[in-house]
Amino acid sequence: MIEVAGGRAPAVSRLPRLACLGKITVPQPFGNEQLLSALYSRVAEHCERLDVVALAADSPAGHEEIDGKIHIHAGPSARGLRSHFEYLRYSLERVRYLERTVQPDLWWVSDPLDSALVGWYARRVSGAPVVVQIQGDMFRMTPLRFNWIKRRIITLLTLWSVAWADRVRVISHDMMRQLRDWGVPPEKLSYVTTRADFALFDPARHQAAGRALREQWGWQESRIALYAGAVQPTKGTDLLVDAFIAVAADLPDLRLVLLGDGPDLPALRARLADAELTDRVLCPGWQPYNSLPAWYAAADFNVVPSRDEGLGRGGIQAAAMERPSLMTRVGGNPEVLRDGVTGWLVEPTVASLAAGLRQAAGCDRLVDMGRAARRFAKARYDFEPVVRTMIDEMLYRVVRERPRSR
């Protein structure tokens, strides 16, 4: 028997074979990106074999084998509408290949949309159970992201995926409540939240690197706010920039780092140039995951200005680095912090974010709040406990309750 959190491995002659389907990008070599590689390496310890079907990140498509157990199938990346067809074409071919050669005992699907379409097909051809994961707010998307027709299609696809899935993973209690309100049986849902690597995001390890960045920018005495994530409407980066412009004259020591890339970045840079604030805002673009702790260490506080959000990972990573967060009160964000103790919750508007920036920039308790934030987040989102729950709820429990039928 293999001990796992909350239960035991099923009494079988071998470990299960798991295949993961996701419209996500994976780097090659795979170990270069610790967010995914650490997770899959840990899960693979409980599998006979682990296959990951995804998209190649800035590298040629191909197959990578790791330690004879993890197999990364990275398909060609594309943009726009073509990306959906390329992903479906490659993933369906990989499902047929895996069914011929591996015969997975279980399929994990990373989202209830494109990946779920592939998961439904995998379930049909293999007779193996499927776990669908819902990691974003699929029912309260901002109109700036999709028009009402697309939002309706996404809602219907999500409900369809939940209906046929053998188990559904949700990462926030807010999403759990939403699905129950839609009539999804509670016994089908597993709360397995997101995770942060508190060993990687260790403030003591990265303190010197953070100081070096501040010196490099010439912002040693400034109060620095950090945003880390995609630069697009759903993430509210335009709200943050407008809020910063609104308070800049009254807070001359405040600086902003927009860490990430996306379709809105050129327009936001132009807006900052018009406001003559380019010397107070840094836009370094996308940065590797493993370098993020140094950026958080360089900041005084973090901002998550999302219009809609499943669960703000940026707030968790900032907390791990002992940085309080200013977060919008949407989706699962209120679960990430204690308002006024480990950070602040505001509405997703320019006026509310501007008021929040004033409060955070003038706060003399940032160090104490940051320490409290790490304690609060570590009790809920630490890598090992979350992954143990994932293995128990999404691997052993499903294989035990719904074995492969063919």
Q: Are residues 159 and 116 in the same domain?
A: yes
**18 and 162 co-located in one domain:** yes
247-286 burial, b for 16+ CB within 10 Å, e for fewer? bbeebeebbbbbbbbbebbeebbebbeebebeebbbbeee
In a domain, 406, yes or no: no
In angstroms, rounded to a whole number, what is the distance separating the alpha carbons of residues 80 and 237? Answer: 21
Calculate the alpha carbon distances from 77 to 56, 57, 116 in Å: 6, 7, 18
Helix (H, G, I), strand (E, B) or coil at 63: strand
Low-confidence ranges of the chain (pLDDT < 50): 1-10
Please state, rounded to an integer, the average pLDDT across all residues of the chain: 91
> How does strand 62-66 pair with strand 70-75?
antiparallel
What pairing do the DSSP bridges indicate for beta strands 106-109 and 130-134? Answer: parallel
Do 224 and 180 lie in one domain? The reply is no
What's at 312, amino acid-wise?
G
Q: Are residues 144 and 31 in the same domain?
A: yes
pLDDT tens-digit readout, 110-137: 999 999 999 999 999 999 999 999 988 8
Residues 357 and 390 occupy one common structural domain: no
The answer to whether residues 169 and 156 belong to one domain is yes
The enclosing domain of 48 has a CATH number of 3.40.50.2000
CA distance 110 to 102: 20
One domain, residues 207 and 321: yes
Q: Are 79 and 58 in contact (CB under 8 A)?
A: no
Residue 5: the pLDDT is 40
Q: pLDDT tens digits for 213-269?
A: 999 999 999 999 999 999 999 999 999 999 999 999 999 999 999 999 999 999 999
Tens-digit pLDDT profile for residues 355-375: 999 999 999 999 999 999 999
CA-CA distances (angstroms) from residue 93 to 121, 218, 360, 381, 406? Answer: 11, 52, 51, 35, 20
User: Is the same domain home to 236 and 356?
Assistant: yes
- The set of residues, in sequence order, having a beta carbon less than 8 Å from that of 64 and lying 6+ positions away, is 28, 29, 30, 71, 72, 74
Same domain, 255 and 335: yes
Task: Tokens for 243, please give them.
Answer: 């809020």
Query: Looking at the domain assignment, is residue 173 inside a domain?
Result: yes
Q: Which helix (H) or strand (E) holds 298?
A: helix 292-298
| Same domain assignment for residues 209 and 71 | no
CA 305 to chain centre: 15
Please indicate, yes or no, whether residues 234 and 275 belong to a single structural domain of this protein.
Answer: yes
Boundaries of domain holding 337: 203-381
Question: For the segment 268-279, what is each residue's pLDDT rounded down to a tens digit?
Answer: 999 999 999 999
* Domain match, 272 and 171 both: no
Q: Say how many domains are in the chain.
A: 2
pTM of the model: 0.90
